Every structure is written in structure tokens, then in C-alpha cells.
Structure 1
Amino acid sequence: MCHWYILIFCVCVYQLIEKLHEKWSPVKKKPYPAMYSSVFGGIILDPAMMVIPIDDHMVHRGHGVFDTGVILDGYLYELDAHLDRFLRSASKARITLPFPRSTLRSILVQLTAASQCKEGTLRYWLSAGPGNFLLSPAKCPTSAFYAVVIADVVSQCKSGVKVITSTIPMKAPQFATMKNVNYLPNVLSIMEAEDEGAYASIWVDDDGFIAEGPNVNVAFITNDKELILPSFDKILSGCTAKRLLELAPKLVEQGHLKSVKTANLTVMEAKSAAEMMYIGSTLPILPIIMWDEQPIGDGKVGDLTMALSDLLWHDMVAGPNTHRICVPY
């Protein structure tokens, strides 16, 4: 009788796996070449098996943080900067690490190598872990670390886009300054923009100052050729935005820009800018030419915006090794 139970169990498992594979069978090129799960304790190459437990507190309570990096030409760009922010977010979310930082970093590099993906993104999450469906994670045995490599095309954005001012309330500074998985306001914000035929939106804080986009920073070039990014005290400090602040003084030295700084900007000041752009890991810069149906500057992609984009792009493809980690494929 026992043998029959084992046989039935094996058949059920086989049918389950076949069911999971149905989604991916018609897909010729798998978009997720590799995943790591600390729950499984290793790397998974089959996208049908890339799952997380339903009782993980990141799933049913939103108790998790994440970050994203770019894979370009077989290099991981700004891995350490993103990983440092990831750990700061984890500390703010009161999630303990399952491994030391060095182990997390090693896992991410090994995962990228195992994926054989040389262009795309690397996304990773830290959750309070699986264990129960309660509000408190106190009874969860350990936190969980997940990471996925996503094959994608990464290139410069040279066409301008349209944006709107979001009516969806932005997150309070305590949550906006950590990269946590509660992205419902971000989702609703971008859906609102899409409803209006826009690419994305701009958040304005309670004091009337420009904040950020739904998953990107925003920057402006004034008519006096000052590059200004909103202060990071109420919004997420973007790794790419901070790198831009390090690189942009080169254009000041060349006489193209007058200055580079972070500051509070009102909506009126921002809308009167000569140029405007989104800044994010996968963009790295996206020109904005229309805001709430009003043109920014002359309504065309600005020369200084593209000069900044070129600076960042060169840093991504040929910058110093301190910012580009070679993956041992």
C-alpha cells in the first residue's frame, strides 16, 4: 500500500511540474535565464521553478526590500553602490541578513555568470521570510534572499517623452527613502499617466516641491545652465542619480554647465526649466519634453541632456573598474 502512495505522489508532482512548464513551452527565448533562492539554497535555471512561498512575509505583508542593477557587456554596473543601498533599506525595514554582505555579493556575481546573460538587469529581494500568515514575522525561522537575472536590451534613450503631475499621494519619507516592495502608489501613479497617454508621472511633495517619478529620479537644467536634482531627504537616493552628480562636473569644467547641485524646486520653477529628464538604472537618462501638455523649453530633446546621457553611458560601458564588475562567465 505504501508503494502505491509513493507512486501516486510522484505522479502528482510530475503533473504539477508539467503544468508549471505549460506557460513557458511556447516561449523560445526565456526572459529569466537564472534565479537564486535561499529557500532552495541554490541557483535555478528553469523559469517554471522560479517561485517563492505564498507564506513569505514579502508576499502577504509587503515586508521586503529590493534593488536592481544593470548587466552590460558582461559587466555589472554600480553593483556595490546598489548593494550598499539594499543593506540600508534592509536595516530600515528591520530585516536581518541571512548571509554577510560578502556572501550576498558573491551570490549575485555567481548568479549572473550562471545565467550567461551579458545584457539585462539583475534584481534582488530580501524578505522577512516564509513561516506563517501572521502580521509579525517573529515566528519566521529566517529571512529569505531571492535574485533574478532578466535578459533585456539596455540602450541610451534619445527620444523625448511626455509626463504628467501625479494625483496619487506619494509615500511618506520614512518609506520613500527605503527601496521597499510596497509599490502600489508607484503602480497607480504610472497607470494614471498611461491613462493620459503619458510615459510616467512626477510627484510633488506636501510642501509643493518636486520629488521624483514612480521609479526614477528627475533632474532639470535651468536657463542659466544649472543642473539641479531634487534633494534626497524625502525621496529615494538613486544610485544612477548620485553617479550623475559625480560625473556632471566634467561639463562644468568644459564650460557647458554653470553648476551641479541638489535643491528644492517648486513646480513653477521646474516647469520653466530649459531641459528636463528622468534618471534611472536602465535608462540611464530619459529626456522629458512635455509636462502636463506644456513643452519643456523648446519642446525638443536638449543638447545638455544628451551630453549628460553620453557621460553616464560611457561610464557604464567603459568606466573605471570600481564601478564596473567583470562577471566570470
Structure 2
Amino acid sequence: MAHLSAPPAAAGHRVLPSHRRRLALKNIAPSSGGAVATGGLPFWRAAVSKAAASSSRAALAGTIVNPIDVPILSFSEVAERLDAFQESGARSQSYVAMYSSIFGGITTNPSAMVIPIDDHMVHRGHGVFDTAAIMDGHLYELEQHIDRFLNSAQMAKIPLPFDRSKIRSVLIQTVCASKCSQGSLRYWLSVGPGDFQLSSSGCRNPALYAVVIESPSLPEPSGCKVITSSIPVKSPQFAVMKNVNYLPNALTKVEGEENGGFTGIWLDDEGFVAEGSNMNVGFVTPNRELLMPRFDKILSGCTAKRVLALAEQLVEDGRLSGISSRNVSVQEGKEADEMMLIGSGILVKPVVQWDDQMIGSGKEGPIAQTLFNLILEDMRSGPPSVRIPVPY
């Protein structure tokens, strides 16, 4: 039997997709002995079932993209909402100043501390970063961190927006504008914004960003537990470069926390101790030797190298028999008298348990505590080579 075609839409009226679907289904009538779909249903019933499911999905999608629910905002409205977000207390740290070479200046308004979404550091991870502690109105080891920063940029093939002298000046001026006397300075170099391509060839302006984070409290040298991380360690080419691709680091930290610890410990491709999620690892052997893994496959920690220099005092007074940097096996590490994590954010943090094994006596060791005190004293009253006064 012939079927009549659906009437055309009246002039000036648009046939909605859902109406088209119903009109089309009217032309699919059941017939005796009709073809059967794979699932045992006649094709027309299968078509109805499929159309109904599709209609449900469309309805659900419609509720998500309803223009009433997603407003189109003006620039001023975006600014108002950024202010509201800042005032909501959603951030757990206090950002007191930011420099951006994109807008060519410093802002002390946290709501304005944003970067372009098409910056390749955001969507491709093509950027590097570094940090420096602020203690009693002085920047600690800024020169050493800038050297590593620029070396990382060279390895990452990021052209500099300014020379070293101007970068240094910008960083100090940003801290000065913040009026922060204790906290940290973090800074990034990126190939910059330009597009969403993989290649950075379309990025015309490499970018420098810096943020000052106020933190009046000092880290505590309390003992912690660590675990052997199951997250694959980064290859040496990327591990020695302080780039923004820190997903493996973040997952290693999360894995440690999920297992009741402070962080995870990476092993290198030969099974030797490498580093923590974002800190170096140190040991005190039964022979009273301060031991750290070699830096050839891991990030060369500025704080760790400073600790090694300060530890010479403990060799001189006999509390340490020596200082060494070499391959460290897991067994040797777990059998050490002391174990510690070393980094700019924690300074020196004792480890009292690694996986299921207690380290030494299972309590914070005297060498770790002494090294914590030495680095803290160095931050407060060390030589000009490691302390730069901020001209507030």
C-alpha cells in the first residue's frame, strides 16, 4: 500500500528536528511478514526505539546548553564574577601580586591574576617555572634559581622575552609591590599565546609571569611516611628540566596521600632511589655519612645543594663522617639511620617510615633536625650570595 508523504511545512515555519523525526516515523508502517531487525524486532519498531532514545539524549543535551542557563557575559560582568569567586574563599593561598608580560605590569588584585587560555603553557605544557623563598624581606637563593630557570627555558626551546638582568629586576619589583616579607615567589616562562596548535611557531610573544604567595607560617620538621610510587618516573631529559608538565609529580603526591603518607618516592630506570614528587631525598647511613642520589637523572635541587654545603659544618664537628652523592638502592635507603625530604617548600622534612619499614628508630633523627635549623638560619642571616634584600 502506498503511503502519503508528510505535508510540507507551512511557509515561514521551520520544522523542528523532533517534528521531522515524528513525520518520518509515520511513513514507517508495520506490515505482515516485514523485515526483522537483528535484535528480533521489526525494523520499524527498532527505528521507533532508536528515535526515542535519540530524542531523550537530545532533551538531556538541551537542558545542558539551554541559553537561559549559560549567560553571555560582558567584560565587566566577567570581572564582577571573578571578584565574587575571589571573595568566596575558594582559594587556599593568599596571592598578593602578579606580573604578566602580556599586560606589561604588576597587579595586586587577585581577580586579575589570569593568563590567556591559548598560552601554550596552558594547553600544551610548553613552559618552565621556578621559585624562590621570601624570608624576612629577603629573597633566598634567587640567583641560583634564576640560573636553573633560564637553563630549563633553553632546554625547552623557549625564547626569552627579556634578558636575565630585566627578568631579575621584574621578579624583585613584583615582590616589592606585594609588600610580602614572608612567603614565596613563583615564576614561569612560556612560549606564549597565539593559537591552539601543537607547534609554537605561531606564538609571537614569549611570556613571563610571576606570582607572590604570602605564607606567614614556617614548615614544621615533623616526621612523615612515604611510599614507593607506582607512577612511572619521568625520563632524565624531562626530569632535569623544571617544566610545567607535573602530572606525574601530582599523581605521585596524591598516591602517597591516598596511602596514608606524605608523598611517593620515585625509583629510576635501574631501580635506584631517584626523588620525591617535588623534593630531593637524603639519607644518613649507619656510618654517619650524608648520602643523596646523583643529580644526573633528577632535578638538581637548589635547596638540596645548599643543604650539602651547610652540612660540611657537621663533618667538621664530627657529627657526620662525610658527604656523598651516588646511586642509592632501596635496601640501603630503608636501612639508613635517617631519611629526609629536601625542598624549598618543606626545607628539610624527616621520614620515619618508608612503605611498611620504619627508618632508624622510627622517630625524627638529629641530623635532619640540625639541617633544618641550619637552612632556616641561612635563610634568615646567610651571606649576600644567598640573600637579596627587597627594596620595599
| TM-score, normalisation: structure 1 | 0.95
Cα distance in 2 for residues equivalent to 1:13 and 1:205: 49
In the other structure, the counterpart of 1:105 is 168
Residue 77 of structure 2 corresponds to residue 15 of structure 1: yes
In the other structure, the counterpart of 1:225 is 288
- Show the 5 A alignment for 1:54-203: 54-203=117-266
Cα distance in 2 for residues equivalent to 1:258 and 1:150: 39
SS in 2 for 1:315: helix
Tell me: CA distance 1:63–1:30, structure 2 relative to 1, closer, same or farther (3 Å). closer
Which residues of structure 1 form unaligned runs of 5+?
1-10
Deviation at 1:77, TM superposition (A): 0.3
Cα distance in 1 for residues equivalent to 2:363 and 2:84: 46
- Show the 5 A alignment for 1:278-293: 278-293=341-356
Tell me: CA distance 1:29–1:195, structure 2 relative to 1, closer, same or farther (3 Å). closer
Residue 307 of structure 2 corresponds to residue 244 of structure 1: yes
Aligned length: 319
Cα distance in 2 for residues equivalent to 1:40 and 1:273: 51
SS in 2 for 1:23: helix
Which residues of structure 2 form unaligned runs of 5+?
1-72
SS in 1 for 2:185: strand
Cα distance in 1 for residues equivalent to 2:217 and 2:127: 27
Deviation at 1:24, TM superposition (A): 1.6
- Following TM superposition, where does structure 1 have runs of at least 4 consecutive aligned residues deviating by more than 6 angstroms? none
Could you list the per-position Cα deviations for residues 28-48 of structure 1 after superposition, in whole angstroms to 9, with x for gaps in the alignment?
A: 997101000000100011111
SS in 1 for 2:176: helix
In the other structure, the counterpart of 1:7 is none
Give the counterpart letter for 1:191 in structure 2: V
In the other structure, the counterpart of 2:106 is 43
SS in 2 for 1:33: strand
Cα distance in 2 for residues equivalent to 1:183 and 1:201: 14
| Contact map agreement 1:30 1:47 (CA 8 A) in 2 | no
| Contact map agreement 2:93 2:213 (CA 8 A) in 1 | no
Give the counterpart letter for 2:74 in structure 1: C
| Contact map agreement 1:240 1:284 (CA 8 A) in 2 | yes
Residue 311 of structure 2 corresponds to residue 311 of structure 1: no
Cα distance in 2 for residues equivalent to 1:58 and 1:72: 29
In the other structure, the counterpart of 1:6 is none
| Contact map agreement 1:72 1:154 (CA 8 A) in 2 | no
| Contact map agreement 1:154 1:282 (CA 8 A) in 2 | no
Deviation at 1:26, TM superposition (A): 4.2
Cα distance in 2 for residues equivalent to 1:153 and 1:278: 22
User: Which one has the largest radius of gyration?
Assistant: 2
Give the counterpart letter for 1:46 in structure 2: N
Deviation at 1:156, TM superposition (A): 4.5
Cα distance in 2 for residues equivalent to 1:158 and 1:61: 36
Cα distance in 2 for residues equivalent to 1:182 and 1:29: 22
Deviation at 1:14, TM superposition (A): 1.8
| TM-score, normalisation: structure 2 | 0.80
SS in 1 for 2:257: helix
Cα distance in 2 for residues equivalent to 1:85 and 1:282: 17
**RMSD over aligned Cα, in angstroms?**
1.4
Cα distance in 2 for residues equivalent to 1:166 and 1:59: 26
| Contact map agreement 1:156 1:309 (CA 8 A) in 2 | no
Could you list the per-position Cα deviations for residues 183-216 of structure 1 after superposition, in whole angstroms to 9, with x for gaps in the alignment?
A: 0101111111111011101101111110000000
Tell me: CA distance 1:115–1:170, structure 2 relative to 1, closer, same or farther (3 Å). same
Could you list the per-position Cα deviations for residues 5-38 of structure 1 after superposition, in whole angstroms to 9, with x for gaps in the alignment?
A: xxxxxx9222121111111224499710100000
Deviation at 1:308, TM superposition (A): 1.2
Deviation at 1:158, TM superposition (A): 2.4
Give the counterpart letter for 2:367 in structure 1: L
Deviation at 1:152, TM superposition (A): 1.1
Bigger RCO of structures 1 and 2 (CA < 8 A, at least 6 apart): 1
| Contact map agreement 1:31 1:152 (CA 8 A) in 2 | yes
| Contact map agreement 2:190 2:206 (CA 8 A) in 1 | yes
SS in 1 for 2:202: coil
| Contact map agreement 1:156 1:313 (CA 8 A) in 2 | no
Cα distance in 2 for residues equivalent to 1:14 and 1:64: 30
Q: Pick from 198, 204, 207: which aligns with 2:267?
A: 204
Deviation at 1:283, TM superposition (A): 1.6
Residue 346 of structure 2 corresponds to residue 294 of structure 1: no
Deviation at 1:315, TM superposition (A): 0.6
Give the counterpart letter for 1:12 in structure 2: S
Could you list the per-position Cα deviations for residues 206-238 of structure 1 after superposition, in whole angstroms to 9, with x for gaps in the alignment?
A: 111100000000000001100001000000000
Deviation at 1:249, TM superposition (A): 0.8
In the other structure, the counterpart of 1:266 is 329
Deviation at 1:127, TM superposition (A): 0.4
